[in-house]
Structures are given as C-alpha cells and as structure tokens.
Structure 1
Amino acid sequence: MKAAPSPILMLFLVVFVNMAGFGVVLPVFPFIGTALGADPAAVTLAMGTYSLGQFLGAPLWGKLSDRTGRRPVLLLCLVGSILAYVAMAFAHDILALGAARLFAGLMAGNIGVAFAYAGDVSAPADRPKAMGILGAAFGLGFIMGPAIGGLIAGQNPGLADFARVCWAGAALTGVATLLVLALLRESLTPERRAAVLAAGGGPGMGQLFGTKPVVIALMALSFLMIGAAAMMETVFAIFVHDRFAWGARDVGLSFALFGVITAGLQGGAAAPLMRRFGARAMAGAGIAAYGVGVAATALMPTPALMLVASCVTAVGVGLFSPAYQVMVADVSEDRDRGLINGLTQGISSLGRFVGPAVSGSFYQGIGPAAPFLIGAGVMAVALLLLLSMRPKVAHAHP
C-alpha cells in the first residue's frame, strides 16, 4: 500500500477498540440485566442503545471530519469512550446501563471516520487491502472483546465482575488514545480541507442523495445485513443458555471463535477474492452464507452442530464487510467521504439498534428460533436488493 504502515495500524486500533467495546459486554450484559430484574426484551433494548448512539453520532462525526480533519474527531471520540466505560462501571440498574451504552455508542460513531481516513490515504487499487485490514479489526474486536468480558466476569457474573469488565475496556481505550495522539498524523491536509471548504464545505445529505442515489441503496443494504446480525448477537447468549445451559464464559469463547473466522477472512482472503470476483459478487456470497448459517443455528439439535452453523454466519460477515466498504469507498471523494462513511456506518448502527430492539420480543412472543429464522428472511431481501443495484455502480472491481 502507498500509505505508511503506521496510519493503517492506528486505524486498525481505533476500529478494534470500538468493536471490542461493543463486544466486551455481550456475554455479560444479559446475565447482569436478568440479575437486575429486567426481562429479555428490556435487556436487548438496553444493549441496543449502543448502536442507536452510533446511528445518531456517525453522520455528525463524519461531516465534522470533512471540515476539521479526521484526527481530532478520532481523539475526541476515544476520550468519550473512556468516560462511557466509567459510567457503566458505576451503573446499578438497567436504565443507567442503557444510558451509558447510548453515550458509548455516540462516541463509537467515529468508525466511519476511520474508514474515511483509510479512503484518504489509499489509492483505488489498494482499497481492498486497506478495507480488509480494517474489516479484520471488526473480527478481532469480536475475538478479544467477548473473550475478555467472559473470562474476566467468569461463569456466573455479578455486578462487581461487570464493573471489572468496564474498567478493562476503559484501560484498553486509554492505550489506544495515547497511541493515536502520539503516532497518527492528519490525512486531510490543510490544502485538501481548503479545497473542500472552497467547494462549499461538502454536500448536505439532501444534495448527496440527489447526486449519488446509490448511497441510499448502500445504506439500505447495510441496514438489512447488520440488523439481522444484531438480532442473532443479542439473543445468542439467552438462546444457548436456555437450550444448552451455556454460561457467560461459553458464550464469550464462542464469540471469540466467530471473530477468528471473520478476521481471518477479512485480513487475508478479502483482497485476493475481490480482485478475482469483484466486490459485488463477494458481498452477495457473504449475504447468502449468513442467511444459511443463521437459519441453521436455530434448527441444529446439538451444541456442536449449532456452533458449526453459527460459524457459517461468521464466514458470511467476513465476506460481506470488506466488499461493502470497497463499494462505499468507490462512490466517495474528498468532499463527501466522511459524510458518506458516516451515513453508511450510522445506518448500520441503526440496524444494530433495531435488531436488538425486536429480537427479545420475537424470542419471547414467537419462540426461541424466531429471531434467527426472521434474520434469514431478511437476508433474502438483502440479496435481492444487491442484485437490483446497477452493476456499473455496485460492482467495485479493483
């Protein structure tokens, strides 16, 4: 890649910390929520406020980074994430936990800024590799986050164990903040920012949608894929506990396994696969794999078979995510890169809110398999949407 190793490494760290922050409480939060007297619907809704915060914050941070630069926005959000962990450590009811997760999500809206930075410093031919590396950070975040949370909390966690998980997340984010402060340079030089401002400061959302309607289709695609994934993630712990008597440590290690698969695909196989087949085809394969895997997860009769099926969903995410980011990067330019990445990341965060908001109700009202089977149906819709997109726009072939 033409970019120096240190910027991509720092971006990797930013994305990793944000995803670890999302994942670190996944194996613990349902048990803590239940201990506080909340039902599954309330627990999944409180977990989902993190993604609601991302939805609200991502477009704003992206637009701000187009005007002021990427680095100050990344640093501000990292400091805010530390404060959010502290708030969670001192929360003792489901409402306070949900509010702290909402603030954490607002600060995690900088993931779109990280992808915009990668777009700033990578040539089109290098983007599959750059986006694959950042995509791998998502996977590794799911390896380390749930694994750390599950191992620190133990098999039967209490409030004190949950607080220790939060302090570990704060410490990890603090290290990332110091490294970014010391090593990450600004990607939007004064000259490039001046050019954006001279052109009117970049388009507003209405103007952007009018000139680049493909952004709307990309947003819808992300919403469907991430919403279905979030339904599975937020009820998985409850599902395997009810069906197979799994505890927090079992769930954490399972998420770690999913992360290994996702990170391996995104960090190693994404670039050569996209060079051979193109981003659109790879995104379609990811959607199909996720749909098959999530349906099979609900239907498998033994823990081993269920885990194999769940690993197929990890393959789907590992194929889809880097392909999708290349498709987004290929419709972006300096004046709107932060906004477009903020919008696409924001709408994916809305999916991460809507999925948990309904998954608990589906689980209670319809049955334990319902969130998984409905997610598979959503994947069928997503695949049809992708196929309907014009190939000359959706097929980001390096």
Structure 2
Amino acid sequence: MSDTSKSEVVAPSSSKVIGVVFVLLLLDLLGFTLILPLLPSIMDHYAQTGDAAYQSLQSAVNFFREALGIPMEKKYNSVLFGGLIGSLFSLLQFLSSPITGALSDGFGRRPLLLVTTMGMMTSYVVWALSRSFATFLLFRVIGGVCKSNVSLCTAIVADMPCPKARNRGMAMIGVAFSLGFTVGPVMGAYFAVADRTTGHVFFQTPALLALAFSTADFIFIWLALPETLTQDGKGFSSGFWDFRDLLNPLALFSFSAVTRSKDPPSGDRMQRLKALGRVYFCYLFLFSGLEFTLSFLTHQRFHFSSMQQGKMFFFIGVVMASVQGGYARRIQPGRHITAVRMAIATLIPAFVLIGLSWNVTVLYAGLALYSFAAAVVVPCLSTLVSDHGSPGQKGTVMGILRSLGALARALGPVVSSSVYWLAGAQICFLLTAASFIIPLCLLSTARRLKAE
C-alpha cells in the first residue's frame, strides 16, 4: 500500500472530528456555565458568613463603585463582583491559552486536551468542597488556567486541510457555545433551587454535576478523539521557549511566536494575520463591554427580575444557535470577511436600539440583531485565522487568538461600565455603537491585504 493510501486510511474524516469536537466542547461548556446564575447568590452567601477574604475583595469593589457613582444596591454590587471574578478568569486565560496552544504543537492536541480537562475536573472538586471564599477563588484560578479547551478545539478544526470543513467546524464550535450558555445556566439554577429545598449548600449539586460533565468529557476525549496533528507537523516553534512571545501583549498582537518560528508565513500573510488579530481584539473589547452593561440597563430601565434576565439570555442563545447552525456554517470560503463586515455593521443599529429602547419590544429587536452578529463574527474570524501558519503552528496561532480575546474580555467590561455610570446608558451604548467603525476599518485592511 502506498504512503498516500496509508494516510487516507489513518486520517480521521472531517465529519467525525467535527462531531467529536462538538460533543466534547458541549460537555465542557455545560459544566462551565452551571455556575453563571449562581454567582450573585454565592457572593451573598460569603457576605453573610463574614468571610475575611470576601470582605477584602469587597473593599476593592466598593472603591470602584464609589469612584464611578454606582448606586449602593444589591443587584449592582452582584454584577460588579461577578464582573471582577470574570475579569480574573479572563486574565488567567490570557496567560495560559498561548502556552497551551504552543505545547499542543509539540505534544499533540489530544494529550493537552486530556491534561486540561483533568485540570478542570480538579477545579470542580475544589468548588464542591469549598466552604470559604478563598477556596472558591482557588477553584476559579485553577479553572482559568486550565480552561483551554476552546483554543485546543479550534486548533483541531484548524488542522483540517479542507477550507469548507474548517468553516463548518468553527460554526459547530459556535453552536456548542450557544447551546452550552443556553442550557447550562438553566440547569445550574434548577439544581440550586433543589439543593435549597433539601437543606444542602445550594451550590453542592451544581458543583458535582459540573464534575460529572467534566469527567464524561475526559472519558469521551480518551475514547473518541483522534489525534489530528500529524507526526510530521509536531514540533515546537523556535520562539516557544521565549515566554515574552507568549505572554507579552505587544508580542501577542504581532504574533511574534509565529514570526520567529522556523517556517514563518510570508510577509503579506503575517500582516493579514496581525490585522485579523487586531479586529478580533477590538470587536471583543467593545462587544464584551456592552454585554456586561446590558444587565445594568435592563435592571435600571425595565426593572428586570433574575427570571426575566434569564429569559432574555435564553432568547439570545436560541437565536445564536439557529444562526450558527443554519447560516454561519454554510458561508462559502472566500466570503468570510464579507460576512464579518456585515455582522459588525449590524451591531451599530443593534446597540443604538438597545441604548435608546423605550419599551421591551424595541429592546428585543436590538437583541435579535445583537444575537445575529454574535453568532457570525467569532466563528468567521476563527476560520480566517485558522488558514494561517503551518500544521505545526496552528495551536500557537489559535492560542494567541484566544489569548487576545481573553484580554479584551478582561478589559472591556471595566471600561464600558465606567462609561456607563459616568456618562449614562444612552451615551455608553451610542458611543460604543459608533466605535464599531474601528474594527470595520481594520477589517478593510485585512481585505486589502488579501486582495494584494
């Protein structure tokens, strides 16, 4: 049998890999999102117990709240505290994602997925056993360091040689995100209520369920996931051991770990990769900021209860899953920049409607446009970036992209909430809507480089 025939037999089919990636990422996200609706209650729980670590962190939140003139109200305090915890998580992902991606280029995607999933299992054990806020923070730190499944899954999809398969795979990753963030929080809220009725600590069952999902994920990866990085493609780039290339934000924006590698992309392709990285960061910086302040607006203007907030995010998740499963995965190769430009442009009227919304109908009209854009931009940009780099660089490339997104998600909410409370909701949403012109201009640069 020829070498070509052997590779055809050994190489896993794209459809099988996409299916496995979808299931393992969905299991991971279901476990990860169980905690989201519980964060305000968890903060209140540690506040009532007089936990010393909680009180120390509360002082920092109070300083930020008073500096911005945010009213002293339980709902706002919960959102701010949750945002602070979320920013910590994003900063840890910013640090760990490029390193994990680079390691997967050397050791393979499957071993790194098994290691990081085991790390997530450990974090859920810590959560289930936590009885102090310091232990709870340890759970979030371990989870932030080990939560590299998404960048590794995008690297697996990037390993596929067929552009159509890569596009379909990135869209299915988006569908897994939408389903996970739609179903997981509902499950977390349900089991927390059940725990309260039985007299247990209200987060005990959600923590154990998250551990169960993560364990099932580990077993599924072990049994079903093939290694997609070929033996010839494995190898560390020359810049891997220079941690400045993987941790320095300026080096990440320049994709220096890829530039300094033994087989860097051509000059034009590197310039296009850098342009796409800037678009990705700028988009998520603006988007995550308004996503964070959305809870402020709905509570302040429409007096949404927690249930109404849950219904709103359920609506967003359903629309996103529908768009990703129907439209995004069918975008033809070569049409992704056009699709991203249309989606980002859609965010301008979306946030204008949300910022000016005078009733719930107008709010939901803006949310529908918002959901469409959110379903398209990240999968398409991930597909575009996945086309860059040699087979042994895909993990590094996708890890750096994920790191830039994590940095944007750490900074965006702080800046956006500052503008919201200092200038008002309308100014915040209208100003940020206009700011989406910036990623549109950056996208034009990437399009021009492609044409050249």
Interval containing the TM-score (normalised by the shorter chain): 0.7 to 0.9
Q: d(CA) in 2 for partners of 1:95 and 1:353? A: 21
Q: Out of 28-37 and 127-136, give the one that drifted further.
A: 28-37
Q: What secondary structure, in the 3-state scheme, does the structure 1 residue paired with 2:368 have?
A: helix
**Structure-2 residue corresponding to 1:308:** 365
Q: What secondary structure, in the 3-state scheme, does the structure 1 residue paired with 2:233 have?
A: helix
Whether 1:132 aligns to 2:179 is: no
Q: In structure 2, do the counterparts of structure 1 residues 292 and 94 end up closer, same or farther at CA, with 3 Å as the change threshold?
A: farther
Would you say the 8 A contact 1:230–1:356 is kept in 2? yes
**Displacement after TM superposition at 1:344 (Å):** 0.4
**Structure-2 residue corresponding to 1:79:** 118
Would you say the 8 A contact 2:24–2:220 is kept in 1? no
Q: d(CA) in 2 for partners of 1:319 and 1:2? A: 27
Whether 1:318 aligns to 2:372 is: no
CA offset digits 1:241-264 (Å, max 9, x no partner): 333333333323322221221122
Q: Which residue, out of 8, 11, 14, partners 2:18?
A: 8
Whether 1:242 aligns to 2:300 is: yes
Would you say the 8 A contact 2:157–2:170 is kept in 1? yes
Please give the TM-score of this superposition, normalised by the length of structure 2: 0.76
Q: In structure 2, do the counterparts of structure 1 residues 311 and 23 end up closer, same or farther at CA, with 3 Å as the change threshold?
A: farther
**Displacement after TM superposition at 1:99 (Å):** 4.6
CA offset digits 1:157-205 (Å, max 9, x no partner): 9993344333332222221111111111111233332xx46x8588974
Q: d(CA) in 2 for partners of 1:312 and 1:108? A: 29
Matched residue type, 1:80: G
Matched residue type, 2:285: G
Q: Which residue, out of 346, 363, 368, partners 2:403?
A: 346
**Displacement after TM superposition at 1:295 (Å):** 3.1
Q: d(CA) in 1 for partners of 2:32 and 2:409? A: 11
Q: d(CA) in 2 for partners of 1:140 and 1:302? A: 28
Would you say the 8 A contact 2:121–2:214 is kept in 1? yes
CA offset digits 1:7-44 (Å, max 9, x no partner): 22221133334444554333332454356555343331
**Structure-1 residue corresponding to 2:327:** 269
**Structure-2 residue corresponding to 1:165:** 206
**Displacement after TM superposition at 1:371 (Å):** 5.1
**Structure-1 residue corresponding to 2:290:** 232
Q: In structure 2, do the counterparts of structure 1 residues 383 and 26 end up closer, same or farther at CA, with 3 Å as the change threshold?
A: farther
Q: In structure 2, do the counterparts of structure 1 residues 54 and 310 end up closer, same or farther at CA, with 3 Å as the change threshold?
A: same
Q: In structure 2, do the counterparts of structure 1 residues 29 and 207 end up closer, same or farther at CA, with 3 Å as the change threshold?
A: closer
Would you say the 8 A contact 2:353–2:365 is kept in 1? no
Q: d(CA) in 2 for partners of 1:90 and 1:161? A: 12
Q: Which residue, out of 90, 98, 109, partners 1:59?
A: 98
**Structure-1 residue corresponding to 2:151:** 112
Q: d(CA) in 2 for partners of 1:13 and 1:293? A: 31
Q: d(CA) in 1 for partners of 2:359 and 2:241? A: 53
**Displacement after TM superposition at 1:2 (Å):** 7.6
Matches within 5 A, 1:190-269: 190-193=231-234, 196=235, 205=245, 206=256, 208-209=258-259, 211=267, 212-269=270-327
Q: d(CA) in 2 for partners of 1:160 and 1:87? A: 14
**Displacement after TM superposition at 1:374 (Å):** 4.6
CA offset digits 1:220-248 (Å, max 9, x no partner): 21112222232233333343233333333
Q: In structure 2, do the counterparts of structure 1 residues 34 and 360 end up closer, same or farther at CA, with 3 Å as the change threshold?
A: farther
Would you say the 8 A contact 1:69–1:186 is kept in 2? yes
Gap regions ≥5 residues in structure 2: 1-10, 48-57, 59-76, 246-255, 261-266
Q: In structure 2, do the counterparts of structure 1 residues 362 and 152 end up closer, same or farther at CA, with 3 Å as the change threshold?
A: farther
**Structure-2 residue corresponding to 1:334:** 391
**Displacement after TM superposition at 1:83 (Å):** 2.2
Q: d(CA) in 1 for partners of 2:101 and 2:433? A: 31
Q: d(CA) in 1 for partners of 2:449 and 2:442? A: 15
Q: In structure 2, do the counterparts of structure 1 residues 84 and 267 end up closer, same or farther at CA, with 3 Å as the change threshold?
A: same
Q: d(CA) in 2 for partners of 1:247 and 1:221? A: 35
Would you say the 8 A contact 1:149–1:165 is kept in 2? yes
Would you say the 8 A contact 1:54–1:109 is kept in 2? yes
**Structure-2 residue corresponding to 1:24:** 34
Q: Which residue, out of 175, 179, 194, partners 2:216?
A: 175
Q: What secondary structure, in the 3-state scheme, does the structure 2 residue paired with 1:161 have?
A: coil
Q: Out of 65-74 and 111-120, give the one that drifted further.
A: 111-120
Matched residue type, 2:343: G
Q: In structure 2, do the counterparts of structure 1 residues 33 and 337 end up closer, same or farther at CA, with 3 Å as the change threshold?
A: same
Would you say the 8 A contact 2:258–2:389 is kept in 1? no
**Displacement after TM superposition at 1:62 (Å):** 0.4
Q: d(CA) in 2 for partners of 1:291 and 1:21? A: 33
CA offset digits 1:276-322 (Å, max 9, x no partner): x7010101111112232233223212233312311211100112122
Please give the TM-score of this superposition, normalised by the length of structure 1: 0.86
Q: d(CA) in 2 for partners of 1:43 and 1:284? A: 31
Matched residue type, 1:111: V
Q: Which protein shows a greater Rg?
A: 2
Q: In structure 2, do the counterparts of structure 1 residues 10 and 144 end up closer, same or farther at CA, with 3 Å as the change threshold?
A: same
